[in-house]
Structure 1
């Protein structure tokens, strides 16, 4: 028989602890976010559809992005047991400098459109976390502004070789003068991809106010207040070159970009140079032979060629081919710290996060970016401990199997 007694108030209250109310709305939202997808949910709720979809969407049927994310989900880990993992070391070196974590913030364009703090929030959060921040040619904070936001951290610059080459050369010189240590030479944008969400939303830069825009903005007045009461949205590093935003965007895509452009930029740039947008082993081999410092495996977040190769699937073959000569970085589709751990195990030197950063920014400005970094950092540490790895150097291909959901049809 179960012995029963009248509940004792002291014992009940010992088991129950009432949570203190949090009156800061931003902190209350962010405290509830446990994953990057949670930040995405908050971002979608707080950001007008056109701006959110610009971040969230990809090209055409968005197959490249979907496949990139599924590739990370289709990973089987192989943990080692009975290893003391009370402490793990997540630090690494990449392109000649240190990073406290094996990921940095990827270059993103139009960033202040998503949330008014823009690159200042991203660079500041990166500096505080001890990881690199990369500014886009189409960024909405200037090279000098990012330097001021992250004066003692590592800043990188992503370059579009523009139709007016002198504009690109001037940006290279300014980035070098302001202490940026690594240049990402982008090679996957001879023309813009077909981003259908943007077309369906009537998206433009700057935003055009229509009846639909107003209806969508009604539950999001804070976004419009920030947008209308802060400095004009522009490509900050290009503001002195003349031309409208639309004209500058058109200048940024040039189908004549060639290896000769790479040679010229390489001679101009005093720091490390990595080629961003490599999607075949053959191109990686050729570029490594030209003496570049890094290869960034990326399909531009699925925003250029739909049905493009999956960077994470390319990783083992590219590392096997050129990993002794260049540092290999992976971009596109990372939404969890486990994705980063799997990439490092398969030979990547480093990884980049773009949408995850912007989801955090839209969810809560600088605090949202801090939260994004915290989430990924916690996931990295937990995954390493469960794998039995004390450091990134101990992660090897034996820890990971890439499961095959999509594979080539074998004939004959």
Structure 2
């Protein structure tokens, strides 16, 4: 027997119940940032709004960009194992790292040339980090001074990333300045004995200040806002190094020193009064050696894929490194994080903390300080949702049983 649906003329009152119009947003920046639901959405906006050379400097990596692609793929190749029937109406995303608190299990990684992406640069990153209660890390090659970052984030946690310059006194003075400004953690960076081959930058003729050509002018025509900001704000330069003289190329060359050694680490340890962390560790053996040397922490990192292409994947190294040294030093991880679920997976496998670089810069390019706020907001929502779906009430409850790293790249037996 076939039952026929009874039909009737639509009633206006019932139609109106189904129609709810969104309040229009007339502010273009707020409208475009609200439309971004993921970090990838922010990347798309950033690409539309930023000249190619500046965008590619952020987005690109070394040589064939294999390391970066593999790092991102590693986070996607994760299987979560949730627990059910847990009251997760409230979750605690806070943690303690390098002797101090963070409201979230991620902070902002050091990035160079930052004001090239957006004129607000490190000021936007530091102030947004302070508002969110997470650490901000300033690069030696930052475009805002140590002291200005402190002013932008006076009550928050500021960290400093140090390159050991060929002229060691430059590095020593930067270390002293960061300490005097109240920065509490120093990232001693070890994965840059020489510069990686960043081919996008070479093809774009990347430099600071940007060099005009017919190509760059043509690319800039649909992005007048970027050039207006660039031309009407203070000169773009390495803020902490401007007193050292030399061209940009000479400064970059000076920042990469193949003679860096444990002896340099020992000297910095004497100068630096706060937490000393080594960034750029890429093997269990090196992690063990650094733990034996008594440093406070390490960052598993291949420099965002910007140095050695086909380098080890930090996320893949994480379980073995934590097993080897996790009781002796704090282990942090970066490279490839584009989603709050990536953060949760890293914490579950033993990382004490994670760092975001490109994810924050995409937000910066998409909308300055407001864009950084949006990037942090997106990642925070993803972390919270993932924890609730896993049945974890706090960051401390995340453990290896929550995550399986699926094997895609398996070493061949000799």
TM-score, normalisation: structure 2: 0.98
The CA deviation at 1:18 is 1.2
Match of 1:19 in 2: 22
**How many Å separate the matches in 2 of 1:183 and 1:82?**
42
After superposition, where does 1:4-403 map in structure 2 within 5 Å? 4-403=7-406
Q: Residues of 1 paired with 2:233 and 2:225: CA distance?
A: 12
SS where residue 240 of structure 2 aligns? helix
What whole-Å deviation, never above 9, does each CA across 1:335-390 have from its counterpart, x for those lacking one?
A: 00000000000000000000001000000100000000000000000000000000
Q: Deviations over 1:27-80 (max 9, x none)?
A: 000001000000000000000001000000000000000000000000000000
1:240 shift after superposition:
2.0
Counterparts of 1:172 and 1:292 in 2: how far apart (Å)? 16
Deviation string for 1:1-20 (max 9, x for gaps)?
Answer: 22222222122111111112
The whole-number CA distance in structure 2 between the counterparts of 1:249 and 1:224 is 25
Structure 2 distance, partners of 1:195, 1:58, is: 6
- CA shift, 1:242, in A, is 2.3
Alignment partners' CA distance in 2, 1:345 and 1:61 = 31
Distance 1:147 1:10 in 2: 58
Instruction: Work out the CA distance in 2 between the residues paired with 1:316 and 1:200.
Output: 38
> CA separation in 2, counterparts of 1:69 and 1:50?
22
Task: Please list every run of 5 or more consecutive structure 1 residues that lacks an aligned counterpart in the other structure.
Answer: none
Unaligned runs of 5+ in 2: none
Query: 2 CA distance for matches of 1:141 and 1:295?
Result: 25
Deviation at 1:243, TM superposition (A): 2.3
Deviations 1:203-247 (A, max 9, x none): 112110000001000100000110111000001011222223332
Aligned partner of 1:2 in structure 2 is: 5
Alpha-carbon deviation of 1:283?
A: 0.3
Q: What SS does the aligned partner of 2:385 have?
A: helix
How many aligned residue pairs are there?
Answer: 411
Contact 1:102/1:350 (8 A) holds in 2: yes
Contact residue 35 and residue 375 of structure 1 kept, 8 A: yes
